[in-house]
């Protein structure tokens, strides 16, 4: 291996450029490997993804349950309105019958 002093300045510059290029490549590979490992361990967040999936499913179930409860509420309101109208009719019939009974009592008593 020839001595550094025996090399020409052009060879020394060439070796210096290769050394810097090699060091740059090694540093970039190390950084890329660190980013890859970090992404695999923390960046992808597999636990959070599973938790988010479970929560999304729970939200969907609650939405479906709310829709079902809304349908039940609508049926109850409809039945309530129907019962109220029937009760009003019964009270009207009761008043009419009471008037008829009062007339009949007048006719019998008077």
Q: Which domain holds residue 67?
A: 48-110
Specify whether the CB–CB gap between 22 and 30 falls below 8 A.
Answer: no
Angle at 71 between CA 69 and CA 76, to 5 degrees: 90
Give yes or no: residues 67 and 29 share one domain.
no
**Does residue 1 belong to any structural domain of this protein?**
no
Distance in angstroms (rounded) separating the CA atoms of residues 45 and 27: 26
Per DSSP, 17 falls in state H
Mean pLDDT of 20-37: 96
Q: How many structural domains are present in the chain?
A: 2
Whether the predicted pLDDT of 75 surpasses 70:
yes
| 78 in the same domain as 107 | yes
CA 101 to chain centre: 66
Asked whether the predicted pLDDT for residue 44 surpasses 80, the reply is: no
Asked whether the predicted pLDDT for residue 107 surpasses 60, the reply is: yes
Q: What is the pTM of this model?
A: 0.46
36 and 60 inside one domain: no
In the predicted structure, residue 50 carries a pLDDT above the cut 80? yes
Average pLDDT over residues 71-85: 95
Mean pLDDT confidence for 64-75: 94
Tell whether 35 and 63 lie within a shared domain: no
């Amino acid at each position: 291996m020839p001595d550094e002093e025996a090399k020409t300045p052009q060879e020394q510059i060439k070796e210096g450029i290769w050394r810097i290029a090699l060091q740059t490549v090694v540093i970039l590979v190390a950084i890329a490997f660190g980013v890859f490992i970090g992404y695999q361990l923390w960046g992808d967040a597999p636990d959070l993804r599973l938790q988010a999936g479970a929560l999304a499913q729970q939200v969907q179930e609650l939405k479906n349950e709310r829709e079902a409860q809304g349908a039940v509420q609508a049926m109850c309101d409809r039945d309530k309105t129907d019962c109220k109208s029937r009760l009003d009719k019964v009270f009207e019939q009761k008043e009419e019958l009471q008037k008829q009974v009062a007339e009949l009592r007048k006719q019998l008593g008077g």
